[in-house]
Amino acid sequence: MNKNRAAGRRLQILTGPHEESHQLDLLSFVSDYALADLSKEEKQGRTSIAKNNIAKTSAYHFQGNVDKSKTFLNFCLGNSNQFAVEAVKRFIFNEKSDFDMIYLKASSGLGKSHILHAVANEMILRKKSFYLSSPFTMSLLIDNLNALKFYEIILIDDIEEIEGNVEILKVFCQLIDYAQSGKIKLIITGSKLPKDLNGCDDRFKGKLSAALIHNIFEMNSVLAYDIVNLKCQGLNLILPENVKELVSNQLDFNVYGLESLLYKFKSTSDIKGQEITLEMALKETKVKKVINHQDDFRGFLKVVASHFQVSFEDLISTGRRKELALARHVAMYILKEKTGLNLMRISKLFDKDHSSVIYAVIRIKKQLESDLKLRNKVQTLLCDESFLIF
């Protein structure tokens, strides 16, 4: 590339003090990278249009549909998400940071979109400019990279939508390069790790992998209970404690699922004009049997053994065969992550040291991220109607 031309491009990238307030016509201000073949006069014409629009703007600006109800104040914190949320807060509240991008990886319904909207609401309060979108709705910006450079922070949800879109991939590579110059901050969410994004070239995966990556793990019953309490307040729904426990211990933990069940209870309560009882809740959730913490969990362990086609006696034995170890580790994982049962209680069930339980939980968590077959098997087990743990 011609050195003068390269220098010119570099100067253009850095034009416009970061503190200035800019509102761009997103369809007018076009990147030199995307329009390198345009004549000088055409480029100047487009720039003039953008500058005229800038002059008409208010002190700050933002782009995107922000949900005002999603804030940090009403976001329920737990072991599965507290480090991710704390990192995001530090990132947006501090002017300077050791990194330029945060990547939040989480399955659907675990709060990553809530976090982005909470950031957006904080930016509005602080009168700072931001852009909130998903790759799918950014298609009009393929030729308008410079438009994004005048926001202080870019919030991108569901990055997996970028898979296979070559043009958007190019824009994102340039945007990441610009963020690494320290002129803009990026917060990106996705259900996959950057290295697992199919249809994306290694160059893009490598650039995105340079972000500070935080995993938001599946919630346990303690966090789910807090969410149920908060949602009940928002819906003005009064539920007895045993029903709240029932809802918060549905084993397919997901905020959307919890909300859906509470909406169902709210509708039933309004139509029938009566309080939701445990019997009604059990009928709505189609649960046949309830196992309390006071029980010895033998019934639960027998269900796990049956799903993995091993005997109950072998499951709680010291046998180390591969299939036994996997079934045992899955049982430990569910008891720890889904019920909040303490390590010592679990270790006594299997006559193991508590460190063995920790190892089992970590192993299953890691496997569930990449092993679809195991994930499906665990999900099938969790949805088994023959038991419910709370």
pLDDT surpassing 80 at residue 339:
no
pLDDT tops 50 at residue 217: yes
pLDDT of residue 291: 45
In sequence order, the β-bridge partners of residue 131 are 63, 154
Lowest mean pLDDT among 27-31, 233-237, 246-250, 361-365: 27-31
Domain 298-382 has CATH 1.10.1750.10: yes
pLDDT at 338: 66
Range 221-285: architecture per CATH = Orthogonal Bundle (1.10)
Kindly list the domain boundaries of the chain, sorted by start residue.
3-55, 62-216, 221-285, 298-382
Enter the DSSP assignment of 291: B
CATH topology of domain 62-216: Rossmann fold (3.40.50)
Tell me the average pLDDT across 338-364: 80
Provide the pLDDT for residue 173: 87
Tens-place pLDDT, residues 229-251: 988 988 899 998 888 887 877 64
pLDDT of 368 above 80 = yes
**pLDDT band (50, 70, 90) for residue 34:** very low
Mean pLDDT for all residues in the chain: 77
Give all strands (DSSP E) within 146-236, no chain letters. 153-156, 185-190, 212-216
Quick one: pLDDT band at residue 355, thresholds 50, 70, 90? confident
Model confidence at 29: pLDDT above 80: no
- Compare 54 and 378 and report the one with higher pLDDT: 378
- Whole-number pLDDT of residue 242: 84
Closest by CA position to 375, among listed 313, 333, 345, 346: 333
Report the chain's C-alpha Rg in angstroms: 25
Task: Compare 379 and 34 and report the one with higher pLDDT.
Answer: 379
Q: Is the model's pLDDT at 70 over the cut of 70?
A: yes
Q: What is the pTM of this model?
A: 0.58
Beta strands in 177-260 (DSSP E): 185-190, 212-216
Strands, DSSP E only, in 94-239?
Answer: 101-106, 130-133, 153-156, 185-190, 212-216
Q: Using pLDDT thresholds of 50, 70 and 90, give the confidence band for residue 135.
A: confident
